[in-house]
Amino acid sequence: MDRKIEKKYWTTKRILLMSTGALVLFFLSYTFLFADHRSAVNVDREKITISEVKSGNYDEFIIVQGVVQPLKTIQLDAIVGGYVTQKLVEGGNMVKEGDIILRLENQQLKLNFLQSETEASRLVNELQNTRQRLKVERFTLQKTLSDLDFQIAQAKDAFDRNAKLKKDDVVSDMEYQKTKREYERLVKQRDIEVESQKYQEENAKIQIEQLEGTLLRTQKNVELWRQTLENLVVKAPVSGLLSSIDVEIGSNINQGQNIGQIDDMDGFKLRADIDEHYISRVFAGLQAKFSFSGQEYAMEIIKVYPEVTNGRFAVDLVFTDKTPDGIRRGQSSPIRLELGKSEKATLLPIGGFFSDTGGNWVYVLTSDSKAEKRNISLGRKNPQYHEVLEGLEPGDRVITSSYQNFGDKEVLELK
C-alpha cells in the first residue's frame, strides 16, 4: 500500500533563500541607518603634506629682504664748474682723505681772481697814499703854526710896546691900532688854521677807515676767489671706496653737479622694503636678526622712511653688537624683524591650504587612512605658523598642503 510522503517546509533551499534575504535586508538597513553618506574623494598620500598641531611659543615676526649699504655715503658734488683736464682715480678704487681725484680748468674764475687781486693792490696803494698825505699835512700844520707863533710873538711885542708908549703919548693912536689889529689878526688866523687842520685830519681818518673796510672786504674776496680756484682740484673729503665717478677727461661740469660718491667702509647698514600693512607697527629701535654664514647677528631699525612707493616703505637697520665679516655692498639677505614679544599659543604650520579656505576650515586626520573637514578659527600668523584660536588641539594632524584638487568633499580617503 502506498504511503503518503509529507513535504518538508524548511528545506535546505528555503533556508538558504531566507538567510540570503535576511542578510540583504540587514545590509540595506545598516547602509540606510549607519553608513557614512558624506561626499568623499580618494587622495594619494604621497602628494599631500601632513603637519602636526603643537603648543609652543608664538613669535610675531616678518621676514624682509635687506640690501647691504655703507653706513655713510658721501656725495661728491662740483663746488665750481669747469672742464676736466685730469682724472687721476677711477671708480672702484680706495682713496684716502685729501687724494686728488680730478683737476678742472675755468678761465673765467682765473680772470675774476686776477681782477680782484688787482683791485686789492690798488686799494693798498690808495690807503698808503692817504696815510702819507695825512702825515705830510700834519708836518705842514706844525710848520705853519710855528711860523704863526713867531709872527704872533713879534706882533704881541709890538702891540705891548705901543700900548705903553701910547699911555705916554709917544705913538699915535693910529700906530697903536695898527699893531693891535695885526696881533689880533694873527691870533685869529692861528685858530682858523688849527680848526682847518683838525677838519682835514678827521676827514682823512674817515677816508682811511673807509679804505681799510673796503680793502678788508676786497682781501676777503681775493681769498674767496683763491679758495674757489683751489676747488678746481677735486679731492677726496674722506677715506673710503670711490664707488662711482661719472665724468671723463674733456667733459664739462656745472657747479653743484654730482660727479660721484665715496663709501665709508668703516661700517655697514641694511636697507629693507616692508609692506605698508606693517607701517604702524614699525619704528626706530625695533629689533631684528640677521643670519650670515651660520651665525645670527642682532640689528635694530635706526630710521623709517615714511614715503610709501608701490605699497612698500623703506627702513635702515644697523648692527647693534658687531658687523659680520665678509659682507659686501649690494649683497641681499633676509632679515627677521621682530614685531612683538613671544607668547604661548597653539600653532599650526603655514601651508597652501590657507589660500583655499581662508583659514576657516581644514582637513583633520581621524585615522591613518581618513581625513575629515573641520571648522577652525585662526589668529595671527608669522612666516612659520598660524595661531590657532579654536577647532584644533595640540597633537591633531592636519593636511596643510593645497586643497585645490579636493573640491568641496567632506572626507578624504588616503591611499
Residue spans of the domains in the chain: they are: 40-59+343-414, 62-68+261-338, 108-230
CA distance 310 to 276: 9
**Mean pLDDT, residues 178-191 taken together:** 85
At the topology level of CATH, where does 40-59+343-414 sit? Answer: 2.40.420
- Partner residues linked to 413 by β-bridges: 42, 370
- Report the candidate in 49, 36, 23, 203 with the shortest Cα–Cα distance to residue 130: 203
For residue 18, which phi and psi values (nearest 5 degrees)? Answer: -65, -40
Chain-centre distance of CA 84, in angstroms?
30
CA distance 278 to 312: 9
**Mean pLDDT, residues 240-258 taken together:** 83
Lowest-pLDDT choice from 25-39, 119-133, 201-215, 311-325: 25-39
- Partner residues linked to 336 by β-bridges: 63, 289
- Partner residues linked to 244 by β-bridges: 261
pLDDT at 8 over 60: no
Share of the chain above pLDDT 70, in %: 92
DSSP secondary structure letters along 34-65? TS--S-EEEE-GGGS-EEE-EEEEEP-EEEEE
**Mean pLDDT, residues 282-298 taken together:** 89
Lowest-pLDDT choice from 166-175, 260-269, 403-412: 166-175
CA distance 212 to 124: 8
Class of domain 62-68+261-338: mainly beta
- Partner residues linked to 239 by β-bridges: none
What strand order describes the sheet that includes 397-399? 40-43, 411-414, 370-375, 361-367, 397-399, 50-52
- Report the candidate in 182, 183, 199, 70 with the shortest Cα–Cα distance to residue 141: 199
User: Degrees (nearest 5) of the Cα angle 16, 18, 19?
Assistant: 65
Chain segment 196-236, per-residue pLDDT in tens: 778 877 877 887 787 777 778 878 877 877 877 788 888 88
Q: Choose between 19 and 325: higher pLDDT.
A: 325
Could you give the C-alpha distances from 233 to 59, 74, 116, 386, in angstroms and in order?
56, 17, 21, 61
User: Which residue is it, cell 595640540?
Assistant: 394
pLDDT at 10 over 80: no
- Collapsed DSSP state (helix, strand, coil) of residue 72: strand
Which pLDDT belongs to residue 303?
92
CA distance 170 to 202: 49
User: Which residue is it, cell 614699525?
Assistant: 282
Q: How many CA atoms lie within 13 A of 233 on its CB side?
A: 8
Counting runs of H as helices and runs of E as strands, what totals does the chain give? 4, 22
Q: Choose between 249 and 26: higher pLDDT.
A: 249
**How high is the mean pLDDT of the chain?**
83
- DSSP-H helix ranges across 336-377: 353-357
Chain segment 384-393, per-residue pLDDT in tens: 899 999 999 9
DSSP secondary structure letters along 270-327? EEEEEEGGGTTT--TT-EEEEEETTEEEEEEEEEEEEEEETTEEEEEEEESS-PPTT-
User: Looking at the chain, how many residues does it have?
Assistant: 415
What cell was used for 234?
677735486
Name the range with the highest mean pLDDT among 8-12, 145-149, 211-215, 301-305.
Answer: 301-305
Chain segment 64-83, per-residue pLDDT in tens: 999 998 888 888 888 888 88
Output the CATH code of domain 108-230: 1.10.287.1700
pLDDT at 33 over 50: no
